Amino acid sequence: MEKELWKPGNMLYPLPVVMVSMADRQGRYNIITIAWTGTVCTNPPMVSISVRPERYSYPILRDTGEFVINLTTRNLTRAADFCGVKSGREVDKFEKLGLTPLGADRVKAPLIGESPVNIECRVVQTIPLGSHCMFLGEVEAVHADGAYMDEKHKFHLEKAEPVVYSHGAYYVCGEQLGTFGYSVRRK
């Protein structure tokens, strides 16, 4: 079997695509879509998100030290794409997309009501890495939508049809839902 040699790069695909919500010090909300996210530690529960310093969300995250990871679903794919290509400098994404900001229990950042899982996080370390800065967040609380619970109180995330990202495209169980930027492309 012959393989091509490529230059070094990130080929760890597919990735979860999440919408990270936050609130600045004045209480203005923003959402950024991130695929550079992951589990870091079990005890204490920790996650990471990586953000480019030039992004509108970066100083909000740095200054407040709080964020919420909101899992995306088939129904949230268009919103996730929009939040990844439009800046919070230009548009209130909650309002534009008709998303519901809900109060969190441990942080000032809002939950996205339409997301099946919301993970409240507090930044414990910020690591500059080059093109991105990684925010390590300790999980403060997790919210799960009761619509995906069965009679035995087992959570069925698969029924929410979670979305992954691979090479510029969004997928649910292998079905492509769109490509990067499709939510804002002219028809």
How far is Cα 152 from Cα 144, in angstroms, rounded to an integer? 15
How far is Cα 111 from Cα 5, in angstroms, rounded to an integer? 43
**Residue 72: domain span:** 15-172
CATH classification of the domain holding 134? 2.30.110.10
Tens digits of per-residue pLDDT, 101-157?
999 999 999 999 999 999 999 999 999 999 999 999 999 999 999 999 999 999 988
Q: How many CB atoms lie within 10 A of CB 2?
A: 3
How far is Cα 32 from Cα 112, in angstroms, rounded to an integer? 12
* Residue 112 domain flag: yes
> Percentage of residues in the chain with pLDDT exceeding 70?
98
> What count of residues does the chain have?
187
* Residue pointed to by tokens 């995306």: 72
* Residue 6 domain flag: no
Tens digits of per-residue pLDDT, 145-166?
999 999 999 998 889 999 999 9
What is the total count of domains within the chain?
Answer: 1
What's the CA dihedral at 166, 168, 36, 59 to 10 degrees? -170
Tens digits of per-residue pLDDT, 5-62?
989 888 888 899 999 999 999 999 999 999 999 999 999 999 999 999 999 999 999 9
* Residue 37 domain flag: yes
